[in-house]
Chain A
């Protein structure tokens, strides 16, 4: 579904990703693990077009997307839930969700997308007409994810969804995302610092260290490799 080949990204002289290659199968969850500064966030920001790669290619179902603008990439079905400050604080919950649906061409799909978001995330329905800055940190993270799903994405990029979320809520959200993965063949790239919880939901996992891929395997197998766990994942 998503194919990344020899991707190199640099901020001026600082190389953030070096010849990163990985592939994400349709209808699966791939965890991207690694310490702070390993390049995880740079990777998703490059996929969604916010950062221009120096070289390499990113293909969505075979089509090259690495030179497209972020808005064009979003319209092709890649939804990026940015780390932390993703909600538009001045807009209401409802407006945030509507905005998520706007990149769908069929107005009926847009309405369904918003309705589904409320169904998945009940607490948001009670606050639909409140501005998003009145929400708690956890609710904002929920809104950010719900908004991404309202777009009806083919690929979901989740950057540290566990930030600010109670672990019970996170478990519920991940269970729902897993459901979408099975029912709709949603493809998920999950960035996490907390390797243990990410490996428990992911099918595959990639470990980044200082901008390079040091492991790419089934999540189950990575979790059982003690040397790797100690060296890169800290558990």
Chain B
């Protein structure tokens, strides 16, 4: 039982990271029908920028903000400079392009920051809380991870559901042509969508770095698990991405805990296949069904 609680808490924390990654992928997929394979590498790069700031004397929170802002900027630049020119080309071109960005960033990072494995500090203590005499495997740092992912999601939800800007962004994602006829500057909305997705990715990169350690490919696995979570939830649904990411977190934690950590990746594939056999369009895809 105690083991179950430990694995559940662990799954919750990791799941929130996968949820953030899945959400970033879904934001871009929904707006541009592109799976951004560079999402993880972009988050890796911005986390290196945070480390770079720390090494040059910046306090932790400043470095944190540097990473988030550079994520915002990097997303916008990738969309404007690289994705926009091939927008009207077949979708595969853009996918190959994001793979190119992935390779480029993973080659650039060791040149700029060195290729060795580095440690990255956590914002809060990584020692578990004490309940009476018992130490639970859930630390202030884990709590911070969970809370910041939840806050990011709540802010995005508010933006999309409650503001005019969010309404424009949704319209641009659902039907660009009609949105343009209504005066929505679709190009700007797409840039903003990529920027926000990349911001969420940068957050995930920062939060997972203390436990995974920092090296140029450290986000690859997070991207794969986040992507699996996004597909689980139905690629079109932001709430689905969050649920899918959490499911991945729990499932991988249980598989790793009960069957050995070597089987985690196999577990991810098994879960994916199982869910897609039952619900081919993803767990929450019924929300995205449309009758035209």
* Residues of chain A having any CB pair with chain B under 8 Å: 48-50, 69-71, 74-75, 79-80, 82, 85-91, 95, 98-100, 102-103, 133, 147, 151
> Shortest beta-carbon distance, B228 to chain A, in Å?
25
A91 near B181 (CB under 8 angstroms)?
A: no
Contact B180 A151 (CB under 8 A): no
Query: Interface-forming stretch among B40-48, B89-97, B168-176?
Result: B168-176
In angstroms, Cα B167 to Cα A128, docked, is: 15
Interface residue? B178 (CB, 8 A)? yes
Known: A98-B164, A98-B167, A133-B291. A88 touches B186 (CB 8 A): no
Q: Which residue of A lies closest to B185 (CB)?
A: A71
Contacts of A75 in B (CB 8 A): 183
Given contacts A90-B290, A99-B168, contact A71 B175 (CB under 8 A): no
Give the shortest distance, in Å, between B115 (CB) and chain A (any CB).
45
How far is it, in angstroms, between the C-alpha of A77 and the C-alpha of B286 when the chains are bound? 37
Alpha-carbon distance A80/B178, docked complex (angstroms): 9
In the bound complex, do residue A82 and residue B183 qualify as a contact, i.e. CB atoms below 8 Å apart?
Answer: no
The reply to whether A88 and B178 contact each other, CB–CB distance below 8 Å, is yes
Which residues of chain B are near A90, meaning CB under 8 Å?
170, 174, 288, 290
**Contact between B292 and A102, CB atoms less than 8 A apart:** no
Interchain nearest-CB distance for A76 vs B (Å): 9
Q: Is B177 an interface residue (CB 8 A)?
A: yes
| Distance of A227 from chain B, by nearest CB (Å) | 37
Q: CB-CB < 8 A to A48: which residues of B?
A: 181
Measured as residues with beta carbon below 8 angstroms from the partner, the interface class of chain B is: 20 to 34
Residue numbers in A under 8 Å from B186 (CB-CB): 71
Q: Is the CB of A70 within 8 A of B181?
A: yes
B181 touches A102 (CB 8 A): no
Using known A-B contacts A70-B181, A71-B185, A91-B170, determine if residue A102 contacts B164 with beta carbons closer than 8 Å: yes
Contact B290 A50 (CB under 8 A): no
CB <8 Å contact, B292 and A89: yes
Q: Taking the complex as formed, is B182 at the interface, i.e. its CB lies under 8 A from any CB of chain A? A: yes
Q: Does B192 contact A (CB under 8 A)?
A: no
Q: Is the CB of B167 within 8 A of A99?
A: yes
B182 and A82 form a contact (CB under 8 A): no
The 7 closest A-B pairs by CB, nearest first: A103-B183, A74-B183, A70-B180, A89-B290, A75-B183, A71-B180, A80-B181
Q: List the B side residues contacting A102 at CB < 8 Å.
A: 164, 167-168, 182-184
In the bound complex, CA of A86 to CA of B179 (Å): 10
- Name, among A79, A88, A103, A147, the residue most crowded by chain B CB atoms within 10 Å (CB to CB): A88
Interface centre among B178, B180, B183, B186 (most CB of A within 10 A): B183
Q: Which residues of A contact B290 (CB under 8 A)?
A: 89-90, 133
Name the B residues within 8 Å of A99 (CB-CB): 167-168, 171, 179, 182, 184
- Shortest distance from the beta carbon of A149 to any chain B beta carbon, whole Å: 12
- Closest beta carbon of chain A to B168's beta carbon, Å: 7
List of A residues within 8 angstroms of B177 by Cβ: 50, 70, 82
Is A88 in contact with B171, judged by CB distance below 8 angstroms?
yes
Question: Could you tell me if A74 and B291 are in contact, using CB atoms closer than 8 angstroms?
Answer: no
Provide 27 A-B residue pairs closer than 8 Å at the C-beta atoms, listed in order of the A residue. Answer: A70-B181, A71-B180, A71-B184, A71-B185, A74-B181, A80-B181, A82-B177, A82-B178, A86-B178, A87-B178, A88-B170, A88-B171, A88-B179, A89-B292, A90-B288, A91-B170, A91-B174, A95-B167, A98-B164, A99-B167, A99-B171, A100-B182, A102-B167, A102-B168, A102-B183, A102-B184, A133-B291
Tell me, in angstroms, the Cα distance from A133 to B291 when the chains sit together.
6
**Partner pick for B180 among A69, A79, A87, A98, CB 8 A cutoff:** A69
Q: How far is the CA of A188 from the CA of B291 in the complex (A)?
A: 30
Q: A91-B171, A102-B168 are in contact. Are A151 and B178 (CB under 8 A)?
A: no
Whole-angstrom distance between the Cβ of B182 and the nearest chain A Cβ: 5
